[in-house]
Amino acid sequence: MTLPTMLDHRLLVVTGKGGVGKSTTAAALALAGARTGRRTALVEVEGRQTFPSLFDTPAWDFEEREVRPGLFGVSIDAEDSLQEYLELFYGAKRLSRFVVGSTAVEFATTAAPGIKDVLLIGKVKEMERRRDADGRFTYDLIVLDAPPTGRIVGFLSAPEATVELVNMGPIRQQARSVVDMITDQARTLAVPVTVLEDLPVTETLEGAAALRELGVALGPVVVNRVLPTRLDAAAQARLQDGLTPQAIARRATDAGAPLEAQGAEALLAQAEAEAARVALQVELRERLRADLDAPLLELPEHYAESFGPAEISALAGTIEELVR
């Protein structure tokens, strides 16, 4: 698995500890896919409605809608998937309407929590296999904003569990073909997202091992919110030894930024604090590299008061550069 080939897979399962930027990354990957000429679907499964604000669109639902040229957004839930599935296999509108009352699904999903997951992945598989009238796949690339690391293994192993549970019939077949998709290393990649902090990195390493165990191919690990390095090596060396607060104050003042030695000391202290943050990132990046057999895809920190289309577009640009 190398960075440049990642978008050539058919399904990217994006996961990560809550809050690290899983949805952001999924959106940026999908946009990068569409902008590099792939017909792409971005799929949300937990009904959080994160994407409308990232693409500046009305709420997403079960209908696939083009939100950018070549990029289709859809929000799927277990109920709609079940209804579609029952109609498909039992051909019975009446039955499916009866079954798909909210309590019925509540029942099915609490009775066997895996059921909901099978329905959701089943729907993704339907999209992945779908072909247009001309025989071509409808989508070249599907990006799934999957459940967080804590649930991803249960989510992806639900179909396998179903295969074990149900010994015949269309459901078994359905589950079987979903398992095939998930474990087909050429079709599906799991893409964990993390930030360079202790807890998320630990969770990512554990999650990556568990995904491998499941037989799911591990894609690049996305390292989100990487802080920029602001100093080249030579300038860094000057800061570490030699450059006095007085000298800094003089140069700054001469350049039009009025500064006293005390202010220069404050600047140095800020730089030191920043260096400590960067050092922690370096340490954690090393931990990822050492314990993980997958390339890292780094996305920079983009501070914005409201994180939206402009930021997603910029991050997609970074991804396009990296996969080129």
Partner 1 sequence: MSAIGGDPLARWRDGDLSEVVAQASIIVCTGAGGVGKTTLAATLALGAAARGRKTVVLTIDPARRLAQSLGLTAMTEEASPVPGVEGLDAMMLDMKRTFDALVDRHAPEPERAERIKSNRFYQQLTSSLAGTQEYMAMEKLYELHERGDYDCIVIDTPPTRSALDFLDAPKRLTDFLEGRFLRLFLGTGMRASKQVGRAVGWGSGIFMRAASRITGAGVLEDLGEFFQSFEGMYEGFKARASEVYRLLASPGSAFVVVASPEPPALREARYFLHRLEQDGMPTAGLVVNRLTPPPPPSLAALTTQQAREAAASLADGDDDDRAVAALLRLHADRAELTVRERRAVAAALQGTTPRRVVEVPRLRPEVHDVEALREVGTHVHGTADADAAAEV
Nearer to partner 1, 58 or 258 (CB): 258
Contact 119, 82 (CB under 8 A): yes
Taking CB under 6 A as the rule, does residue 287 contact ligand ADP? no
The secondary structure of 294-322, three-state, reads CCEEEEECCCCCCCCHHHHHHHHHHHHHH
Judged by CB under 8 A, the stretch of 35-43, 67-75, 179-187, 197-205 that binds partner 1 is 197-205
CB-side neighbour CA atoms (13 Å) of 117 = 21
Q: Which residues between 22 and 81 bind partner 1 (CB under 8 A)? A: 46
Give the pair of three-digit tokens for residue 157: 């192993």
Residue from 100, 225, 249, 323 binding ligand ADP (CB under 6 A): 225
Q: Which of 169, 290, 293, 324 binds partner 1 (CB under 8 A)?
A: 169
Q: Given candidates 21, 114, 122, 207, which one binds ligand ADP under the rule CB under 6 A? A: 21
The continuous run of DSSP H or E covering 189 comes out as strand 188-195
Q: Does 255 bind partner 1 (CB under 8 A)?
A: yes
Distance CA 274, CA 114 (A): 45
d(CA 210, CA 70): 33
Bridge partners of 142, per DSSP, are: 11, 41
**Residue 76 Cβ, how far from ligand ADP at the closest point, in Å?**
16
x/- mask, ligand ADP, residues 31-70, rule CB under 6 A, reads -------------------x--------------------
Extract the tokens encoding 260: 């006293």
Name the segment binding Mg ion (CB under 5 A); options: 9-17, 46-54, 93-101, 270-278: 46-54
Q: Which of 23, 81, 204, 281 binds Mg ion (CB under 5 A)?
A: 23
Joined together, the tokens standing for residue 53 give: 């604000």
Which 101-140 positions form the footprint of partner 1 (CB under 8 A)? Answer: 103-104, 106-108, 110-113, 115
The answer to whether 149 and 210 are in contact (CB under 8 A) is no
- Partner residues linked to 14 by β-bridges: 145, 191
Largest CA distance in the chain: 83
Tokens for 31, please give them.
């946009």
Q: Scan for tokens 């109609």, then name that residue.
A: 87
Interface residues with partner 1 (CB under 8 A) are 17-20, 46, 86, 90, 95, 98-99, 103-104, 106-108, 110-113, 115, 165-166, 169, 171, 197-199, 202, 230-232, 234-239, 243, 247-248, 251-252, 255-260, 262-274, 276-277, 279-280, 303, 305-307
Interface residues with ligand ADP (CB under 6 A) are 16, 18-24, 50, 197-199, 224-225, 299, 301-303, 307
